[in-house]
Structure 1
Amino acid sequence: MHILLKNVKIIAPSSPLHGQQKDISIQNGIIHQVADNLEDDRATVISGNNLHVSAGWMDIFAHFCDPGQEHKEDLYSGVKAAATGGFTTVMVVPNTQPALHTKPQIEYVLSKTRHTSVNVLPIGAATKNVEGTGLAEMYEMHQTGAVAFSDGLKPVQSPGLLLKALQYIKAFDGTLIQLPDDHSISAHGLMHEGIYSTQLGMPGKPALAEELIIQRDIELAKYADSRIHFTGVSTRKSVELIAAAKAAGVKVTCSVTPYHLSLTDALLINYDTHLKVNPPLRSADDVQALQEAVLQGTIDCFATHHLPQDWDAKQVEFEYAKNGMIGLESCFGVLRRYLPQLPLEQLITMLTEKPRSIFKQPQPALEEGAAANLTIFDPESEWEFTTAHIASRSKNSAYLGHQLKGKVIAIVNNGQLNK
């Protein structure tokens, strides 16, 4: 396949081509030529005003629900959602049925997605069947292709077991991912504990449930001298704890969701179940703190927490609705719309280089002779997010009807064009 990108601005901070306006010729999955005024009669041409290109984007925490709940999402629809959102690499959580907790389950994900336009990388379960009672065979899963370890949506509650996991993964310099949530404190909470939970008469989930786990796990990672990544951080104190740990030399990194950067608990006034997520939407002060932490570099990268739910899981009373929203297709538009002060170069670095660095994935090169792993986008395009922009099997997004900024045009990866 021949592809020709016409007059695209290159965003690749570590490349000498960064900031240049060029044509890019791609032949059989390889960047053949980067120059001015290229022509190719056999090529599929991508052109337009204000087109930008970067290395392919990477998401580190998404749920493709396959195997077990394919009516919400399957690996192929998940790939389509990722490609629509500009992602060429996605790490998927192990909370499937059965869980991704053995070698055959890791092989299933890898073999089923091997020939797609998106690299789907499984996160292996840290404990057997993500039940939090005994360690899973992490070394075997690592050898098979698991890129990190986590119990995903059900974070490890036992400090002793988490310490064993952190010590275990040191054998191969692995990384453990925690979604910080102390279930013994937050079990019955439906939203952030604060003035709005009081006004709405809903049980609150205190920030303490998140901050205690972060504080505890930082100490465990420090003791084990092992790598831990917190995803879905959502409070001011959480980022302060992580900043202090980084300064002290602890091997800790963190990511934030687009919705925690843009939405607050005040929006729950209408009991919109699309806004029911875990960790919950926090206060305006927390959102401001998260935005500042992104700008300052305390937060390393973004994670969509793409969590498809079918119609029945959301069209019920708030108390009974399932947590989560989809996020792959809207990610870039939300970040550009609600975080306009973030320089484009820094945003792209947080979508490309940073996540790959944390999880030891090869960095795609934007140069002649390299395999084409690219995202093409218009960072200034204004558009309304509708169900027509959703490739996921599920439509549970709180951003439907929102005006977003920054639109994905296409991805090129694994010799395929998705637009």
Structure 2
Amino acid sequence: MKFLIQQAKIINPGSPLESKKQDILIESGIIRDIQPSIQASADRIISGHDLHISPGWVDIFAEFGDPGYEYKETLETGAAAAAAGGFTDVFVVPNTKPVIDNKTQVSYITGRSTSLPSNIHPIGAISRGAEGKELAEMYDMRSAGAQAFSDGLYPVQSAGVLLKALQYVKAFDGIVIQIPDDRSVGSNGLVHEGVVSTRLGLPGKPMMAEELLVARDIKLARYAESKLHFTGVTSPRSLDYIRRAKDAGLSVTCSVTPYHLLFTDEDLMKGYDTNLKVYPHLRPEKERNLLRAAVADGTVDCVTSHHRPHEKDSKVLEFEYAKYGMSGLETCYSALRLAMPEIPEARWVELLSTNPRKIFGLGGAVIEKEAQAHVTIWDAAAHITVNDAFFRSRSHNSAYTGLTLPGKVLGVINGTRASLHSL
């Protein structure tokens, strides 16, 4: 199939075409030509008011329900949601049923995803059953295609187990991902511990639980001389620890979510919206603003959706019993634009594409003649309206429903696979 993309601003750091508006001709998954103007026939012509194109975006932490929880999300619906959100690549957490803790489960994911519009990269579990007790078959999973290792939604609590994992992955230059949360601190907490939790009458969890695990895990990474990535960071003190680790030359990186950049715990006062029951918890405005500052100053390396789809029965009930998480793939870019409209497009591409590709060894997709086309296309001047018809995901548990958000992703061209919609 042949695509002609007209007058798109190229965002590809390090490229001689950076920030230039060009026509781009893609045929059979290859970028055939890039010129100020191209006169050629095409099966699909793509244009827009403020069209942009960059190397394909990467989401490094998303939950699909397949296998075991297909009523929440399948690989097919998850990949469709990822492509609609601009992601050519998405890492899926191992918290399926059964858990992705062996090469058979890794091969199931990679084998099923070859024809989907987005590449699905399984994250192998650190421990058997993601129970945090015994190491899983990490080397075999890596050989089968596991891109990183994590117990996903259940961060490893044992220092000894995590240290062994950090030492083990060094053999193949692997990387460990942790949500920083000491689950023994405020284990019954439903929201951030503070003024809002008191007003709502909900048990709170102190932010210290995050900071304790960040400090501990950095020490373990230093000892093991291994690679560690924190995802879902929300605490300013955690960010200080991470800054110091980077300054000391440690291979420590971090990512944040769009909803932690946009919402605060005070938004829960507007009606106990269970779509805002997320993990890690939403923080107060002061902490939210310091998190934004860390995005602007370069401390934060990546943005990830933390996509957690749920059927209505898991969300339409009392706050105490609702499941944690929000559907986030399709709204990721627009939510970022709403949260921080002053951030230039090049910085978003750095956070969504350049950095995750570098950190996790995906290789640099490039926009140049005769290169494989792995690209994301969006119109920065357009808007999206979030409603039930908007979603490609099987689940619609989103706090953005009913809102109009800035910026519209048109989709992806991912080799010979493409998923695009019009303005």
TM-score (norm 2): 0.98
Distance 2:14 2:41 in 1: 32
The one-letter code of the counterpart of 1:236 is P
* 2:237 aligned residue: 237
The one-letter code of the counterpart of 2:203 is P
8 Å CA contact 1:336, 1:379 repeated in 2: no
* 2:95 aligned residue: 95
* 1:18 aligned residue: 18
* 1:332 aligned residue: 333
Kindly provide the CA deviation profile for residues 188-219 of structure 1, in whole angstroms up to 9, marking residues without a partner as x: 00000000001111100110111100010000
Count of residues in Structure 1 that have an aligned counterpart in Structure 2 = 419
Is it true that 1:48 corresponds to 2:30 in the alignment? no
What aligned pairs does 1:279-294 form with structure 2 within 5 A after superposition? Answer: 279-294=280-295
Deviation at 1:416, TM superposition (A): 2.1
Deviation at 1:44, TM superposition (A): 1.3
Distance 1:245 1:19 in 2: 33
Is it true that 1:118 corresponds to 2:142 in the alignment? no
Kindly provide the CA deviation profile for residues 40-60 of structure 1, in whole angstroms up to 9, marking residues without a partner as x: 324311122211111111100
8 Å CA contact 2:48, 2:379 repeated in 1: no
Deviation at 1:78, TM superposition (A): 0.2
* 2:223 aligned residue: 223
Deviation at 1:387, TM superposition (A): 2.0
8 Å CA contact 1:55, 1:352 repeated in 2: yes
Distance 1:243 1:306 in 2: 26
Deviation at 1:147, TM superposition (A): 0.6
Distance 1:4 1:349 in 2: 25
| Structure 1 residues 72 and 52: alpha-carbon distance in aligned structure 2, compared to 1, 3 A threshold | same
8 Å CA contact 2:152, 2:178 repeated in 1: yes
Deviation at 1:161, TM superposition (A): 0.7
Deviation at 1:380, TM superposition (A): 2.4
Kindly provide the CA deviation profile for residues 283-331 of structure 1, in whole angstroms up to 9, marking residues without a partner as x: 1111111100011111001010000011000011100000000110000
SS of residue in 1 equivalent to 2:320: helix
* 1:258 aligned residue: 258
The one-letter code of the counterpart of 2:20 is Q
Distance 2:384 2:110 in 1: 35
Deviates more, 1:45-54 or 1:268-277: 45-54
SS of residue in 1 equivalent to 2:184: helix
The one-letter code of the counterpart of 1:185 is V
* 1:315 aligned residue: 316
* 2:408 aligned residue: 407
* 1:199 aligned residue: 199
Distance 2:105 2:314 in 1: 26
Distance 2:223 2:37 in 1: 57
Distance 2:329 2:110 in 1: 20
* 1:134 aligned residue: 134
Kindly provide the CA deviation profile for residues 352-389 of structure 1, in whole angstroms up to 9, marking residues without a partner as x: 11001110111111000000011110112233322222
Deviation at 1:417, TM superposition (A): 2.2
SS of residue in 2 equivalent to 1:379: strand
Gaps of 5+ in 1: none
Distance 2:392 2:399 in 1: 16
Deviation at 1:36, TM superposition (A): 2.8
8 Å CA contact 1:236, 1:285 repeated in 2: no
Kindly provide the CA deviation profile for residues 240-262 of structure 1, in whole angstroms up to 9, marking residues without a partner as x: 11111111122100000000001
Distance 1:363 1:89 in 2: 12
Distance 1:78 1:306 in 2: 9
8 Å CA contact 1:233, 1:239 repeated in 2: yes
Distance 2:414 2:175 in 1: 26
Distance 1:190 1:242 in 2: 26
Distance 2:64 2:241 in 1: 31
8 Å CA contact 1:59, 1:304 repeated in 2: yes
The one-letter code of the counterpart of 1:303 is T
SS of residue in 1 equivalent to 2:185: helix
SS of residue in 2 equivalent to 1:349: helix
Gaps of 5+ in 2: none
* 2:303 aligned residue: 302
Deviation at 1:143, TM superposition (A): 0.8
Distance 1:291 1:366 in 2: 29
Distance 2:308 2:48 in 1: 33
8 Å CA contact 1:115, 1:414 repeated in 2: no
* 2:74 aligned residue: 74
8 Å CA contact 2:52, 2:380 repeated in 1: yes
Deviates more, 1:57-66 or 1:39-48: 39-48
* 1:273 aligned residue: 274
Distance 1:236 1:326 in 2: 25
Distance 1:284 1:243 in 2: 21
Distance 2:184 2:19 in 1: 50
The one-letter code of the counterpart of 2:213 is I
Distance 2:130 2:21 in 1: 48
TM-score (norm 1): 0.99
Distance 2:416 2:334 in 1: 26
SS of residue in 2 equivalent to 1:399: coil
Kindly provide the CA deviation profile for residues 265-290 of structure 1, in whole angstroms up to 9, marking residues without a partner as x: 00111111000011000111111111
* 2:186 aligned residue: 186
Is it true that 1:36 corresponds to 2:36 in the alignment? yes
Distance 1:355 1:311 in 2: 32
The one-letter code of the counterpart of 1:418 is S
| Structure 1 residues 9 and 208: alpha-carbon distance in aligned structure 2, compared to 1, 3 A threshold | same
